[in-house]
Structure 1
Amino acid sequence: MEQILSRQQASEAVQDHGWRYLLGTLQTSALVGTLAQAVSVAADAVAVCGDDADRHLRIDVRLDRVVFTLQSLDHAAVTTRDVELARRISATVGKPGLLPEAGTGTGTPRSVQLVEIAIDALNIAGIRPFWKAVLGYTDEAGAEGAEDPLVDPLRQGPAIWFQQMDLARPQRNRIHLDISVPHDEAPRRIEAALAAGGRLVSATRAPAFWVLADREGNEVCVTTWQGRDN
């Protein structure tokens, strides 16, 4: 029987197979040399997933890589079935895994990640319809409340979520990015950002998230699945 997994359960179940848990999904990528090769690798993954492909697997096919994402559409979460499919795909396409030394500045491509946009608001229910309309977004599966996140129905753009404000903060940016990275890659990403002129604003919620800022105070969060409720 298909069961929903906690963040830690999902991460531990696939880490040795070259996948990482990111924002309720499992992801990995395979490097390829041509678009034809990318399409072939994608087709192999679909074939090995069989009838489950349509309800669990998303594939981003590019000239130089193929990115695989697994999540149960019925549960909007990672399940035992997703773990099984991840292991099948790894065995079929040669355990693509995460790209080595991603984000170290050595010229190697970065590994998998997901980006969200966070909007600070005093009245979330009042502004959410605007963002839903102007972006052409829709409700996240299973989340249709007046303050719930919004997602791109084509999964091309970043998800939008709303952070409740108690008081207006006119001297601070009201929209910031959340960069969700593999838990074992976060320290390298933060180190690179600091070396590039950033500063650490807060690490009190690490490893769930670190708050960084550029030289002018614009903030961004580097996030992982760790340090959150299971």
Structure 2
Amino acid sequence: MTGITVQDVADAGLEDWRLLASGLHARFRTADMTVGAALLAGVVAAAEELDHHPDVTLRRREVDVALVSHDVGRVTSRDLRLARRVSDLAAEHGATAQPHLLAEVEVALDTADLAAQGPVWAALLTGDAHAVDGDDVADPRHRVPLLWFQGTDAHATPRQRFHLDVWVPHDVADERIAAAVAAGARVVDDGPAPSFTVLADPEGNRVCVCTALGR
């Protein structure tokens, strides 16, 4: 199985779903928590049948579903199959997809010494100094955002070291960037768009608005 792209999701007719940093995501608005719980039960049953298990969050009037094939570390055709089943279940329960509300935040830290920095932040964020996978510190229990390390040359403080990566659906990015600019941000670099666009706040702190398109 190969990695799934934005075009693959569109070709599969999965209008409810969007690719973000950590996988394939959907959010469904329900009439109330009882309906959400019934939808959740249906998702669990479908996951057991397909032997492919998503991450699901139930709120008072929302159900969030995240899909990724953990054994290969990317979205695959298995996720597309389960996504289709989940969307069918949502429709049966009168739940409405809200892809425009999806977002995900990662934290990036510039460092010239990953070997020294990685264990410190892994211990702080997860309690395990060895929880560094490549350039990432990822909490398997999803209690904290993923932290990834961006290689850089050695430099003195106060040059910015941290920045946020704000992942949004590819069809929301332009609107989100425009809203930030209207609020006082400025575009620093849009050359890599739509993969990511670098913005700065009024004091110069930078943030990347990221999408899965073009990756």
TM score, norm. by length of structure 1: 0.83
Corresponding position: 1:116 with 2:114: no
Residues 14 and 83, structure 2, Cα contact 8 Å, conserved in 1: no
Cα distance, 1:67–1:83 mapped onto 2, change above 3 Å: same
Cα distance, 1:122–1:84 mapped onto 2, change above 3 Å: same
Report the Cα offset of residue 122 of structure 1.
1.1
- Compute the RMSD of aligned alpha carbons: 2.1
**Quick check: 184-193 or 33-42, which moved more?**
33-42
Residues 213 and 220, structure 1, Cα contact 8 Å, conserved in 2: yes
Report the Cα offset of residue 14 of structure 1.
4.6
Aligned to 1:213: 200
Q: Give deviations 1:80-120, integer Å, cap 9, x for gaps.
A: 11101100110111174335xx4xxxxxxxx1111100000
Residues 56 and 82, structure 1, Cα contact 8 Å, conserved in 2: no
Corresponding position: 1:173 with 2:121: no
Q: Distance in 1 between matches of 2:31 and 2:115?
A: 47
Say how many residue pairs are matched: 211
Q: Give deviations 1:139-174, integer Å, cap 9, x for gaps.
A: 78xx834xx211112113211100001131534321
Aligned to 2:41: 43
- Secondary structure of 1:28's match? strand
Report the Cα offset of residue 185 of structure 1.
0.6
Q: Distance in 1 between matches of 2:114 and 2:159?
A: 18
Q: Distance in 2 between matches of 1:119 and 1:78?
A: 25
Corresponding position: 1:204 with 2:191: yes
Residue identity over aligned pairs, in percent, reads 36
TM score, norm. by length of structure 2: 0.89
Report the Cα offset of residue 22 of structure 1.
1.1
Q: Give deviations 1:186-213, integer Å, cap 9, x for gaps.
A: 0010011111111111111111111111
Aligned to 1:144: 133
The amino acid of 1:161's aligned partner reads W
Q: Distance in 1 between matches of 2:133 and 2:160?
A: 27
